[in-house]
Amino acid sequence: MGKAAKLAMILNVAILTGCTPDLIAGNETGGMVSHADGFVNRDKAFAVAEANCKKYDKVARISGQDPFASTMTFDCVKP
């Protein structure tokens, strides 16, 4: 594999893994998820929020979205 092919592969991996939603902060009352832009990432971001709230026997409720920062805030509420 040539240098150009290796570099292209590394860049593709970096791009694909760098844009997945991550929990920025979260506890029993709620939190914030990064990379919550676009339809697919919003669904994935909500799944991250749900996983956080599930630890406290609660469900996630979206409380806000910032399209410029690509973040989603959520509350953890009793089902």
Q: Cα separation of 68 and 37, whole Å?
A: 9
The predicted-structure confidence for 10-37, as pLDDT tens digits, reads as follows 545 444 445 788 899 999 999 999 988 8
Within a domain: 60: yes
User: What was the pLDDT predicted at 28?
Assistant: 97
Q: Residue 70 falls within a domain, yes or no?
A: yes
Contacts of 30 (CB under 8 A, 6+ apart): 53, 60, 63, 73, 74, 75, 76
Domain extent, residue 35, equals: 21-77
Whether residue 66 lies inside any domain: the answer is: yes
Distance in angstroms (rounded) separating the CA atoms of residues 13 and 35: 16
Counting the structural domains of the chain, the total is: 1
54 occurs within a structural domain: yes
Q: What is the pLDDT of residues 47-74, one digit of tens each?
A: 999 999 999 999 999 999 988 888 999 9
